[in-house]
Amino acid sequence: TWQDVPLAPPDSIFKLTAAYKADPYPQKVNLGVGAYRDDDNNPWVLPVIKKATQILLNDPTLDHEYLPITGLPEFTAAAARLILSPTSPALAEGRVVSVQTISGTGANHLGALFLSKFYNWDGPKQVYLSDPTWANHHAIFRNVGIEPLNYPYYDPKTIGLDFNGFIGTLESAAPRSVFLLHACAHNPTGVDPTGEEWEKIAEIMLSKKHYAFFDCAYQGFASGDLDKDSSAVRYFVEKGVPMLVCQSFAKNAGLYGERVGALHVVPPTKDAADRVKSQLSVIQRSEISNPPSHGARLVALILNDAGLFEEWKRDIKTMAGRIIDMRQELYSVLSDELKTPGSWEHIINQIGMFSFTGISAEQSRELTEKAHIYLTTNGRISMAGLNSHNLRYFAENLDKVVRG
């Protein structure tokens, strides 16, 4: 037994982090990390999370009993209002099904498994993923027997959105195809459609009866504004595009290890929603029985208390603001001071934690080998890895590899 199990390669991002940690070079920089860091490169526990943790510690009514199968009701209800808006017509009509999941990854998995089992597939089980996308999307869909296909998304020539390629695939795909859409702050490119582009995408999806599988892992991280970052999701609900949305609190609440997330499915009627909920409960029961309570309690506390909610929004602005500052600074050092060849506008046009720099795999490797700057070979950098201490070091070395 097990003699024939093939050896799998290590996860590339985790491998990168391990290499960074093992490097004794004092000026090393980690731009692979998908987690927020403060200006001293330390993980940041949000002040509002510290406060909520204290409140939970002092609550004598809390115990360690199981949560319901679909999670903590005051968490799932508030999480749905956060992403869909408190005035969402779908919520008012009682046709939103919300299930607490193991963070965003678990929401993607549960959503994918539900589709695999219950979507009315006309042909083979397939999902269209943006080219490129978060690498885990491929594995998550394959695991449940859904074959990933690509739709054009990133255009290396403009370091922006290949909008025509994208809508061309929406038009040519078989009716009722499933499209995975990043709600905001696209990972790994940092390139999002504009409001007008989202309207066009919704229009085609509606006319072709496509299904929108939204993944929202960065609400608040793109613009610093929770409402603005969910505008695409809300627009699709308003227009009646068939959809679900995966929601993660890992980044926006800094609760990476607590695994707090939710899956929201928005069927057209309350009757359909009740059926969907019954089946999601059956699946969840066999997969994880019921979700973990601590992180969900923290988030529920914050979402259901006006004062804590305001504090959270301030913390989000702190994180998003620092990232936007780093974009501005990197742009101005490259463009104005170093006069690095090429245009660097995309650094300030892109959104969220990640940025596609546009440099080649070879140049990325050169940064790692010569300057101890760790990044994935697709040229993606995490803006959260930059700070006032290392920005210039990074910019100067980027300048060097670009000049060749």
Residue 220 contacts ligand PMP per CB under 6 A: no
Residue 111 binding ligand PMP, by CB under 6 A: no
Q: Is 103 in the site for ligand PMP (CB under 6 A)?
A: yes
Region binding ligand PMP by CB under 6 A among candidate stretches 98-106, 333-341, 368-376, 385-393: 98-106
Indicate if the alpha-carbon torsion angle 239, 240, 244, 249 is positive or negative: positive
CA pseudo-torsion sign 346, 189, 263, 252: negative
Q: Is 134 a catalytic site residue?
A: yes
Please, are residues 224 and 316 in contact by the beta-carbon 8 Å criterion? yes
Give the residue with the Cβ less far from ligand PMP, 187 or 357.
187
Which among 370, 281, 257 is positioned nearest to 67, based on CA atoms?
Answer: 281
Catalytic status, residue 121: no
Of the pair 182, 380, the CB lying nearest ligand PMP is at 182
Tokens 């305001």 sit on residue = 310
x-or-dash string of contact with ligand PMP, 127-166, rule CB under 6 A:
-------x--------------------------------
Residues 8-67 that bind ligand PMP (CB under 6 A): 34
Distance, CA of 247 to CA of 195 (rounded, Å): 20
The residue annotated as part of the active site, out of 28, 44, 134, 229, is 134
Catalytic residue among 28, 162, 198, 215: 215
363 is a site residue for ligand PMP (CB under 6 A) = no
Give 78: exposed, middle or buried? Use CB within 10 Å, 0-12, 13-18, 19+.
Answer: buried
In 3D, which of 93, 96, 60, 57 has the Cα closest to residue 78? Answer: 96
Query: Nearest CA to 225 among 104, 349, 312, 299?
Result: 312
Q: Where are the beta strands (DSSP E) in 15-153?
A: 29-30, 97-102, 126-131, 147-152
Rounded to a whole number of angstroms, the minimum distance from the CB of residue 337 to ligand PMP is 32
CB of residue 147 to ligand PMP, shortest distance in Å:
19
Contact call for residue 190 and ligand PMP (CB under 6 A):
no
Residue 251: active-site member:
yes
- Catalytic option among 229, 251, 313, 344: 251
Segment lying near ligand PMP (by CB under 6 A), choices 25-33, 99-107, 224-232, 235-243: 99-107
The runs of H, that is alpha helices, within 85-230 are 89-92, 103-118, 135-143, 163-172, 195-207, 226-229
User: Residue 229 interacts with ligand PMP (CB under 6 A)?
Assistant: no
Residue 71 is a binding residue for ligand PMP (CB under 6 A): no
Q: Report the chain's C-alpha Rg in angstroms.
A: 21
What residue ranges bind ligand PMP (CB under 6 A)?
A: 34, 103-105, 134, 182, 187, 215, 217, 248, 250, 256, 261
Q: Which residues are catalytic?
A: 134, 215, 251
